Amino acid sequence: TRRLTLAAMLSAGAIATTPAFADGHQVQMRMSMAGSETDQRAVAMAEVFGPAVAGFASYEPSYNATLFAQGTELEAISRGNLEMSITSAQELAQFFPEFSIFTAGYVHQDAAHQVAVFNDPLMDAFKDKAESELGVKLLSVMYLGRRQVNLRQTKEELTVMTPADLAGVNLRMPGTDAWQFLGSALGAAPTPMSFSEVYTALSTGAVDGQDNPLPTVVDAKFYEVTNQIVLTSHLVDLNYIAMSAELFNSLDADQQATVQAAADAAAEAGRVAQLEKEESLVAFLEGQGMSIYEPDTAAFRNAVQSAYLESEFAATWPEGVLDKINALGN
Ligand code: KDO
């Protein structure tokens, strides 16, 4: 509904569409991400965010980690070499370990819970730290989806019901400590690798599998080089629309409000699209010959939750925040 409101505002001329600067100068907003152009977050940013800020800024996305390698975007923003990224809590945890609370398996419950957490005062200290110490403003939360375990092995070769069944499985996880820990907590042998290398690694057998939400499995065509998906739903994954704080703070109040509304509207549009895909893609993937099944989810949840609570990550979580996050869920 936010998307419709924004579109209505644009067509009604309520949002300026002429350059706000006297010399017609447009603010450049380069956005680098590892995802593809057809990823629903990318689509929402291009279709909703870009047009909404076009009155004073040019939104210039680049995909597939072609501008900056996955995991280097925050530093690039911090140094003034990049204006925007769709970043993750795992990447922020590299700078601020307490962000690992948002990377822990089976904490976020669904897309609505992510939004409630992001907009709750509990987030203020996290946002303030990213802004003051890294120069990165977190504008809005995007929904990537429920991460599932996606393997080359056929279900006949390996049926995964509990974490013990993943013992020795070489599972590609993205390359930060928080991601590697999640792979271990699932019972697998995690291997760090950037997203852009995963398809080839799966096709050659360099790894046994990877984890991502169903829309990503389809968008990146991982179903062509794997045979099964275990519906662990181990992480209801999110991303943040991140912007250079220096750039944001250089805008006037109206422009800042426009950027904020545009980010929220893009996040909402992307969320709706991604949820729809997550629902509908099971049939598509089964049609491609994939086995898709539920494991003993309670066994995964118990193993993963206790691994986190006993970990050094949990020691960095600010007092009381996990309880507040849980209280915002069902
Ligand atoms: C991935 O590397 O598996 C991951 O899903 C991690 C996310 O945080 C996100 O960066 C995503 O990749 C990329 O945007 C590609 O979809």
Nearest-CA residue for ligand 1 atom 12 is 195
pLDDT-based confidence at 24, cuts 50/70/90? low
Distance 242 CA to ligand 1 centre (A): 15
Three-class secondary structure of residue 178 per DSSP = helix
For 151-171, what is the mean pLDDT? 98
CA–CA–CA angle 66, 67, 69 (5° rounding) = 75
The pLDDT value recorded for residue 64 is 98
ipTM above 0.90, yes or no: yes
Mutate to test the pocket of ligand 1, among 40, 70, 173, 186 (most ligand atoms within 8 A of CB): 70
Mutate to test the pocket of ligand 1, among 150, 212, 241 (most ligand atoms within 8 A of CB): 212
Name the pTM for this structure: 0.92
Q: Which helix (H) or strand (E) holds 274?
A: helix 253-287
Q: Give per-residue pLDDT as tens, 188-242.
A: 999 999 999 999 999 999 999 999 999 999 999 999 999 999 999 999 999 999 9
